[in-house]
Amino acid sequence: MHWIELNNLDQLNQIRELSRQRPQVIFKHSTRCSVSSMALNRLQRAEVSASADFYLLDLLRFRSVSDQVADDFSVHHESPQVLLIKNGECIYDESHTGIGMADILEQISLS
């Protein structure tokens, strides 16, 4: 698994633009939450799609970026949370124990 660190607001515009060419996945991770650590571990062990880019956002270190993700993509903030961005919009989001690579890959294949 190759994560791209999401750590500044400028990246959100880039993600929106890149999503017009290939799906972009954002995983909002809380380093203080055992459920978030479990979800991250499951994602890291899974087989990944080469047709998408995967971003890791440490929402404790970059809270303003996390808040802007919720605003920009019209989702309610959750932690942990995964978002799939396609054509500039969030087409799928899931949180807590519902996060799984199989579901993400299924959504990518449908988009």
**77-105 residue pLDDT tens:** 999 999 999 999 999 999 999 999 999 99
**14-64 residue pLDDT tens:** 999 999 999 999 999 999 999 999 999 999 999 888 899 999 999 999 999
Domain boundaries, the chain: 4-110
Domain 4-110 coded CATH 3.40.30.10: yes
pTM equals 0.96
- Closest to 55 measured CA to CA, from 43, 73, 37, 67: 43
Q: Give the three-class secondary structure for 50.
A: coil
φ and ψ of 48, to 5 deg: -105, 155
* pLDDT of amino acid 19: 98
